[in-house]
Structure 1
Amino acid sequence: MRQHHRPLQAAPTGANRHILQAARPLLGLDRENKNLRVLAFGDSITEGWIHSAWAKVPWSPRVEQKLQQRLGGDWNIEVVNGGVGSAGVLDRLNDAFRQQLSSAKSSGRPYHFITFEAGINDLLLQNRNAPEIFERMRELWALANAEGSTVAVIPTLPTNVAGEREQQRLALTAKVREYIKHQRAAGNKGLFLIDVESTFAYLSMSPERRAQLFDDGVHLTVYGYELLGDLVARGLSIAMDL
């Protein structure tokens, strides 16, 4: 939460009315050509912002390294960092995500997988609530699925903020988990969850662990970003059946 001062078809009725059918099949792993392109999309957590150092240490290179180790040196792997500091899905992340998809399509280099981490700026900077944030997220995931990209959703990470804003964050993460659970149960394999809540549960961890993982109560330390990268790489590996 870096402070800068500044046609899909849904089932028409019932519990599955929001199951969106991709306009093209999911790309998955291109095993024939040994090619994998991943977009790490999100806010300043994906960007790797460390406030105390006024620097970026993104976790996407670590994900690329881990996937390369699993798939082998003969694979062409690219993990593109699409982090946008201070942005929320109800403002600049919306446009940035659509632009990423458009650019990938026009270049003929689509993303096989997309990691999606967002929401904290909508909650803390813009004071928006869980239902409206979730609905926008769902729209963006559907757009990615329509282009053949599988979306790995990282629910909004905990912070040092308690009270009503934390309740909204918990409500948002609950909606995300439930939605993806229902989607997968209904056959949509274009969404899956990389849930890191327990690892980064700021309010319930010791002061020593907080100092290890968190730089300022919202952004992470170098170690925290490395750990997040490891968890994301593990989640992607499971999704890819590696």
Structure 2
Amino acid sequence: MPNNNNNNNTNTLRILCFGNSLTAGYWHYGLEYHPYAIKLKERLQQSITEEELLPPNTDIVIDVEGLPGDLAVSPPGRFLGRMEGRCISPYPTINILWIGCLCSKTAYDWVIVLGGTNDLAYGTFSPSQIFAALQQAWSTALTSSTSNNRTNVLALTIPECSAISDRLTRRRDELNAKILAHRAERFYTFDLHSALPYHSLSENERERIWDDGLHLTDEGYDLMGELVAGRLVELLKKNKKTTESEDGRKGKKIGDVGRDELNKMAVTCR
């Protein structure tokens, strides 16, 4: 799965964390940013070393594309345009929130998408409208694949917040169910809503993880990174086992076989 760089005999695993304020790591009323990508990269690097999921010389490059307040429904949102800018055409502006190297037309191995939180908050868009907008963004990432790289999408469900509203809960549950039920080649999901609760936590746990009832603290974003990394590691393990089984070369590592072979795994989203 990682891209092989023949110039320095290293592999690169490229990941794009895409979304809004929760992806950007917004906290402390926007005075500080702590993207979950920080812990995600740390955890993945650890897994490479300890579990040998990727060749030991693999570099992990994570770009963070998080725009606070953006809407998935485009227009009026810029969600789809931003995704197209990252995955299709040269991206003209540099986001200050980044890890690694920002590149135009980057061939990503994984695009992790979290969107729809602001659309739900507005209350004017139906779950079906928001889901359709997310599908467009996912499709853009998936179709950005090249002959040398096949992009995978990991879609996250929308987590809870402090607001107590039967209507909001019903609409969020409907949207999350649609996300989890979606099937497409190289498309996977992670139920962040179940993994990162709000209302079931103790008051002390809430204060530690949640910042303002909607955004997380730096510690909360680290937890989010750990959770997302756990799911990604799980998928990398499945890809490795599937590749070894289908290819018949049990001793091969993930970086020793072609990209096309690595992505034959049947879609398992939950």
State the TM-score, normalizing by the size of structure 1.
0.79
Q: CA deviation at 1:112?
A: 0.7
Choose which of 199, 215, 221 in structure 2 pairs with 1:219.
215
Match of 1:66 in 2: 43
**Which one-letter code corresponds to 2:160 in the other structure?**
P
Q: CA deviation at 1:203?
A: 2.5
Structure 2: distance between partners of 1:30 and 1:60: 19
**Which one-letter code corresponds to 2:67 in the other structure?**
V
What does residue range 130-209 of structure 1 map to in structure 2 within 5 Å?
A: 130-148=127-145, 149-163=151-165, 164-179=167-182, 183=183, 188-209=184-205
Structure 2: tracts of 5 or more residues without a match: 50-55, 92-102, 146-150, 241-270
Q: How many residues end up aligned between the 2 structures?
A: 208
Answer yes or no: is the 8 Å Cα contact 1:104–1:110 preserved in 2: no
Q: CA deviation at 1:52?
A: 4.2
Match of 1:15 in 2: none
SS in 2 for 1:202: coil
Choose which of 4, 17, 23 in structure 2 pairs with 1:46.
23
Q: Name the stretch that deviates more: 226-235 or 190-199.
A: 190-199
Structure 2: distance between partners of 1:200 and 1:237: 18
Q: CA deviation at 1:79?
A: 0.6
Answer yes or no: is the 8 Å Cα contact 1:29–1:240 preserved in 2: no
Query: Radius of gyration: which is bigger?
Result: 2
Structure 2: distance between partners of 1:60 and 1:68: 12
Q: Name the stretch that deviates more: 197-206 or 53-62.
A: 197-206
Per-residue CA shift, 1:140-184, capped at 9, x if unaligned? 1112111221000111111112221222111100111111xxx2x
**Which one-letter code corresponds to 1:71 in the other structure?**
I
Match of 1:24 in 2: none
Structure 2: distance between partners of 1:144 and 1:64: 20
Q: CA deviation at 1:200?
A: 2.2
Structure 2: distance between partners of 1:116 and 1:87: 13
Q: CA deviation at 1:211?
A: 1.2
**Which one-letter code corresponds to 2:35 in the other structure?**
P
Per-residue CA shift, 1:188-239, capped at 9, x if unaligned? 4411111122232212322222112110000001111000001111111111
**Which one-letter code corresponds to 1:69 in the other structure?**
Q
Counting aligned pairs with the same residue, the percent is 25
